[in-house]
């Protein structure tokens, strides 16, 4: 399993309700991509959301998105800007990568 967390800040003067709806729409669209198990968003403060995607493998996040994902990401970017992007690897996969590197 792989996780990806992206942090988005609302643009100055942007509507919070529209920003939250755009994050929701992006999550809903991402769930339609092959290999994506789930996607949800969370408010961390009044101006920031974190979108947490769960996939079968890290490669699922690299696959081309659907037209719905493209539309949703541009709508989200119109209302906010991504300030952080984290890819989380489960311990077993991290250990395997470490071992394969000859460590």
Residue 94 has what pLDDT? 75
The angle, 0 to 180 degrees and rounded to 10, between the axes of the packed helices 67-79 and 16-30 is: 160
Rounded average pLDDT over 16-44: 97
Give me the domain span that covers residue 59: 2-100
- Look at residue 23 and tell me whether its pLDDT is greater than 90: yes
Counting the structural domains of the chain, the total is 1
Whole-model pTM over 0.85? yes
Q: Regarding predicted confidence, which is higher, 78 or 103? A: 78
Asked if residue 19 lies in contact with residue 49, where contact means CB atoms within 8 angstroms, the answer is yes
Asked if residue 51 lies in contact with residue 44, where contact means CB atoms within 8 angstroms, the answer is no
Rounded average pLDDT over 89-101: 81
- Look at residue 73 and tell me whether its pLDDT is greater than 80: yes
Question: Residue 50's domain is classified under what CATH number?
Answer: 3.30.70.100
């Amino acid at each position: 399993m792989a996780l990806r967390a992206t942090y988005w800040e609302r643009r100055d003067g942007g509507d919070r309700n529209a920003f939250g709806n755009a994050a929701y729409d992006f999550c809903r669209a991402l769930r339609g991509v092959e290999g994506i198990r789930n996607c949800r968003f969370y408010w961390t403060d009044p101006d920031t959301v974190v979108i947490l995607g769960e996939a079968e493998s890290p490669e699922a996040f690299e696959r081309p998105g659907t037209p719905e994902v493209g539309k949703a990401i541009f709508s989200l970017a119109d209302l906010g800007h991504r300030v952080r992007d984290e890819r989380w690897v489960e311990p077993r996969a991290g250990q395997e990568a470490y071992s394969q590197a000859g460590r």
